[in-house]
Chains A and B, each alone.
Chain A
Amino acid sequence: MGRLNILPGYITAEITCANVWGLLNSLTANGIMLKNIQYRDDLTIRVTIQRESYQKLLVLTEKHGAALKVIGIFGVFPVVERFLKRPILMIFLLLILLLTCYIPGRIFFIGVEGNTNVPEKYILEVAAECGIDFGAKRRFVRSEMMKNRLLEKIPQLQWAGINTAGCTAVISVREKTSADQKISPNHKVSSIVASRDGIIQSCTVQQGNTLCAVGQAVKAGQVLVSGYLDCGIITKTTHADAEIKALTFRDLEVVAACPVATKGTKEKSKTKYALRIGKKLIKFYKDSGNLDTTCDKIYAEEYVYLPGGFRLPIATIKETEISYNCDGGELPTSDAGAWLTDFANTYLRKSMISGEIISADIEVTPNAGVFCLRGRYTCMEMIGQIKHEEFLPKDEGK
């Protein structure tokens, strides 16, 4: 028996005619193959024919004075034709098809677990540098490479790994404990070296081989307490631990402009909004940047989170600019001297590990619209700095 071809399609039609059997015989005599002839009543039948025979059926039914009613059109081509008549639906279906192919191979949600001290944002930034970003391809995610890069960039981490499931990537990290940081497996020997030039004033050694004495002038980088101890037959290794104070000399030059602007009363405030999608920034304002230098800028970024705690790469950005009235004027020499001295002292104390300024030889001079402070400072400070020695196993050392 012949089968209906599903590609061009087939039509189910209801024929009502006074001589319905005569019409059927006429149809078959004209080469139309009828399928599933259903008896409705003495005058009506329902038949299924190939779509290409429809025109012939139309002509013959008209010739016999029969009424023809199409019940349904089935098959591949008729369905495609119907879809082509609805372009929006077609585009939508194509879009879904493309997304179905695209989405499962991409990462859209990135989470971090196991971190307590290292900020999640920093880990995500490093991960983004390694290629784990919004929309990254899953097959390019290499856990080993990622681990190496994370450990290299973030020394506080002891271990890192990445697990992907669907569109989610979870970066699991383990931070180093304080004990881990003190004794790294690669640095089992450490010495104390001078962080800068100076004359040693006091030397308290808890561990290690002392190589300096009080009153000795040392240069930056010179080993003061060694982690290696020569015992004749063998060499002992240890972590050198010492507190070495030295007299150091620092030359400093600080410059301040003569014309100064003082922040006055608040003038006006302006709020701007923007939307960040991935790396794209969509601004909802015309001009960008501050209006002038006399305004403060408050920047707030709020990301969208899913109920599971996964952060979507969509953020609203709110920038508030507050303008102030500025009072301009010249900086008096006395004030300039005090300000520069204060700044220099603060800067020096911050730059020292631990210590104090013993004496200072300062000179403040106005020069071409600026105040310049030139000073020579004598400080008493800790110059001992731990230097980890590369520990080589026995086999490698030979």
Chain B
Amino acid sequence: MDKFQQFHRQGKEKLLTMHPIVELLGQSRLLIENHQGVLSYAPNDIKIQVEYGCMIITGRDLQLMEMSRVKLAICGRIDGLQLLGR
């Protein structure tokens, strides 16, 4: 295995295990993988801790549908998605 391939594989693994993956389905559903916890939760805004900082989801009637160590699913009317780096 050459150095390039090794570097590429390590990057891919890191991407899958560490970096957050955000999946937005229309305006009503948001799925975040590799999150690091919830900072605050209210029906109008939810703050999620991710690797590089904080993610703020704003909207109406927001609800955490599912929360596990890896995944987090949010439902409701999503109006904004903001990323705040450290």
**A: which residues have CB within 8 A of B?**
1-2, 21, 24-25, 28-29, 31, 33-39, 42, 45
Closest-by-CB residue of A relative to B36 is A25
State whether B73 touches A1 (Cβ < 8 A). Answer: yes
Q: B69 at interface (Cβ–Cβ under 8 A)?
A: yes
The docked-state distance in angstroms from the alpha carbon of A34 to that of B41 is: 14
Contact B66 A24, beta carbon cutoff 8 Å: no
Q: How far is the CB of B26 from chain A (nearest CB, A)?
A: 16
Q: Which residues of B contact A29 (CB under 8 A)?
A: 37, 69
CB distance from A237 to the nearest CB of B (A): 96
CA distance A21 to B47 in the complex (A): 10
B64 interface contact, C-beta 8 A: yes
Q: Is the CB of A24 within 8 A of B39?
A: no
> Would you call the interface of chain B mostly helix, strand, loop, or mixed?
strand
* Cβ B39 vs Cβ A28 within 8 A: no
Which residues of chain B come closer than 8 Å to A31, judged between CB atoms? 69
Which among B37, B67, B71, B73 has the highest number of chain A CB atoms within 10 Å? Answer: B67
* Contact, CB under 8 Å: B68 / A34: yes
Contact A21 B37 (CB under 8 A): yes
Does B24 interact with chain A (Cβ within 8 Å)?
no
A37 to B37, CA, bound (A): 14
Name which residue of chain B comes closest to A21, CB basis. B38
Q: Does B18 contact A (CB under 8 A)?
A: no
- How long is the Cα–Cα vector from A212 to B54 in the complex, in angstroms? 130
CA–CA, A34 and B67, complex, Å: 5
Q: Does B65 contact A (CB under 8 A)?
A: yes
Complex Cα distance, B65 from A45, in Å, reads: 13
Contact B65 A35 (CB under 8 A): yes
State whether the Cβ of B43 lies closer than 8 Å to any Cβ in chain A: yes
Please indicate the chain B residues that have their CB under 8 angstroms from the CB of A1 in the complex.
31, 65-66, 71, 73
Which A residues are in CB contact (< 8 Å) with B66?
A: 1-2, 33-35
Q: Using known A-B contacts A35-B65, A35-B66, A37-B63, determine if residue A21 contacts B71 with beta carbons closer than 8 Å.
A: no
Q: B18-38: which residues lie under 8 A (CB-CB) from chain A?
A: 31, 36-38
Interface centre among A31, A34, A45, by most chain B C-beta atoms within 10 angstroms, is A34
Q: Is B40 an interface residue (CB 8 A)?
A: yes
A333 to B68, CA, bound (A): 116
Given contacts A28-B37, A45-B41, contact A38 B63 (CB under 8 A): yes
Q: Is B81 an interface residue (CB 8 A)?
A: no
Q: Which 8 A-B pairs have the closest CB atoms?
A: A25-B37, A37-B64, A34-B67, A33-B68, A21-B38, A28-B69, A1-B66, A35-B66
